[in-house]
A and B are shown apart, each in its own frame.
Chain A
Amino acid sequence: MSIVVNNITKEFGNFVALRDVSLEIPSGGLMALLGPSGSGKTTLLRIIAGLEVPNAGSIVIDGEDISTQSARDRSVGFVFQHYALFKHMSVFENVAFGLRVRPRTTRPAKSEIQDRVMTLLKLVQLEHMAHRYPSQLSGGQRQRVALSRALAVEPKVLLLDEPFGALDAKVRKELRRWLRRLHDELHVTSVFVTHDQEEALEVADQIVVMSQGRIEQVGSPEEVYHHPATPFVYHFLGDVNLFHVRYEDGAMVVTEHNGHSGNGHAKDAGVGFVRPHGFEITRLAESDKAIPARIVHINAAGPYVKLELAGEQGGLFQVSVTQETYKGLALKRSDDVFVTPREVRVFEHDYAI
């Protein structure tokens, strides 16, 4: 069921957490709210759930304006970063809770509750843990219990607040692939909050990039990564190097960025963004676009070799090259080389980091 967010504004005292945010989440979609801390992503999720009240705007789920409904009546499933499992209840009781607290008229029979809870526990592969307590489970298992507890009430939408944030790296990776597959099976409209761009790119079919209470870009993982709409998105999704860009006789000239944004120079076109893999690295200056630099650090572990280069004006840039290039050029520390930016994305306005 679709979620529509209309012009939501939320203030905490003087701090504006969300500024006039509008968003549409299609039915059956898996959407990521991605942004740094303080960007308002969790606040937006909590407003959809009814845990926070917005200063302005409305929330529509499945065509129905639910802005005035309490969190209790919204029938949203919510998964917390720190699981929020009921400590004194067994895994089974945790999952059954949402069914047990229903008014007598809509409460399923005992045997039906038993069946549904066990079906859900089977779905998250924890049926053999039904009688354990949350403290006896590992983080990943706890989060799976939290997920089945949220699904037990057959929610219209599923909201996940940094669901893998408290887990270690390996478990996180396994669990998010598993979540993706689970979503493909269940097709319940899901929104999850994350500050991990890799996680968003891997799991979501739509990504909402947020910064300072605003939406910067909405798009598929491919769109936001390859066609960032704003400097912020470019910067947030992956490593990036900054260069001065100006036009001389119609030709673009890229020079080393000295750390200051280029206002004052009329000819400055703005700041050029180059991904670490968007460089050509050579021993000799093959064109006048080549920028001289010295290798200060080499990390050759992994499929790509990561180089850290220092420019003549002291600027540092990150360049990644294939293992073949690295071996072919026989690069060593303190070597003087030339780098030529291949793909430069220029944002016309000054962008200071």
Chain B
Amino acid sequence: MAHAHVNKRSAAIHESAIVRWLLTLAALGFLTLFLLVPLALVFAQGLAKGVVEYWNALKEPDAFSAIKLTLLAAGIAVPANLIFGIAAAWAIAKFQFAGKQLLVTLIDLPFTVSPVISGLIYVLLFGLQGWLGPWLDEHELQVIFAVPGIVLATVFVTFPFVARELIPLMEQQGTDEEEAAILLGASGLRTFFRVTLPNIKWGLLYGVILCNARAMGEFGAVSVVSGHIRGMTNTIPLHVEILYNEYNFAAAFACASLLAFLALITLVLKSVVEWRTQVEPNSKSAQQPDQIETEGLPV
């Protein structure tokens, strides 16, 4: 009886079994076709000529230099945007000031501008014909078609990730805990490290993971400022493109598989962090609060 009742009710708010299966199949089919198959193909093509060729493609000097440059660009962009992101989120979430809305809009700018355009902006600024070009040339500084340009472009496109992740989190947490710490005599720095940072650590890590993935995978902006000099200004995505255009498919896919690996690792890390963020508040409350509130309080 009870079962029949439950089934009847669930039927009223759910689709029939066939529809559910069809919808699930459609979603899975779509995912397989557009995500899993290409991903598998990357690895299959990379390994098409065997493990030795795969390995050679990676340790070949140009590829190796591309890997180094990618790591360097990400190694500068991620810490830079980590510091900027925390500072911006802190300012936006915890203080009221004039121009706050403008700052929020500016942080979103890299999301709204096409990466190619952002690369072009740097060319217009620092290129030989650009505003600062002649001055840089005089002082023998090269930004465009050199490592500094690549780092700048990477920093620009990954600018919003950390800040965007932290602002809603910090806004939701409010300023009570920080105020409490200050009133207990803690300095600003101490308050930040002992109170604010522990409260945002998982959100921060999430932002850093996304920021890093984008920094390593960025193509458009970097492509414009790089100049594609082999062994000098090529990052992994640019190196992949060159190899592909040279019909060196096995090597191209071998290098591409590195980025695919990175994506997979990012996904795993992201899931772990998401799981931790959800579990965190609950894990410590596994024990229920005492039912008798003022137990032992002589009233």
Chain A residues at the B interface, C-beta cutoff of 8 Å: 49-51, 70-78, 80, 82, 84-88, 97-98, 101-102, 125, 132-133, 135-141, 149-150, 152-153, 170-171, 174-175, 177-178
Contacts and interface: CB of A to CB of B under 8 A. Distances in A.
A76 B183 contact: yes
Contacts of B288: 136
- Of the candidates B176, B184, B185, the one having the most CB atoms from chain A within 10 angstroms of its own CB is B184
A91 to B, nearest CB: 12
Given A135-B281, A135-B284, A175 B184 contact: no
Interface residues of B, number: 30
B294 A175 contact: yes
Contacts of A49: 183
B289 A178 contact: no
Interface string B280-299: 01101101111001111101
Contact of A84 (B179, B287, B290, B295): B179
Contacts of A138: 289-290, 293
Nearest to B173: A87
A141 B180 contact: no
Given A84-B179, A135-B285, A171-B294, A97 B299 contact: no
B289 A141 contact: yes
A87 B289 contact: no
A178 B185 contact: no
B287 A78 contact: no
A82 B179 CA distance: 12
B297 A125 contact: yes
7 contacts: A70-B182, A82-B176, A86-B180, A97-B186, A135-B285, A140-B293, A174-B297
Contacts of B190: 101
A87 B293 CA distance: 20
Contact of A101 (B185, B296, B299): B185
B284 A84 contact: no
Contacts of A102: 185
Given A71-B183, A78-B180, A97-B186, A88 B294 contact: no
A160 B12 CA distance: 52
A341 to B, nearest CB: 38
A102 B289 CA distance: 32
A101 B187 contact: yes
Interface string B96-118: 00000000000000000000000
Contacts of A76: 183
B142 interface: no
Given A82-B176, A171-B293, A132 B287 contact: yes
Given A133-B285, A140-B293, A174-B293, A72 B299 contact: no
A149 B284 contact: no
A120 to B, nearest CB: 13
B199 A87 contact: yes
Given A51-B179, A72-B186, A86-B195, 14 more contacts: A72-B185, A76-B183, A78-B179, A86-B194, A87-B281, A97-B184, A97-B194, A101-B194, A125-B296, A135-B281, A140-B294, A174-B293, A174-B294, A178-B299
B180 A153 contact: no
Contacts of B194: 86, 97, 101
B285 A136 contact: yes
A153 B176 contact: no
Contacts of B176: 80, 82, 84
A84 B177 contact: yes
A97 B180 CA distance: 10
A87 B177 CA distance: 9
A23 to B, nearest CB: 21
Contacts of A80: 176, 179-180
Given A84-B179, A88-B199, A178 B184 contact: no
Contact of B289 (A75, A136, A177): A136
A295 B219 CA distance: 81
Nearest to B186: A101
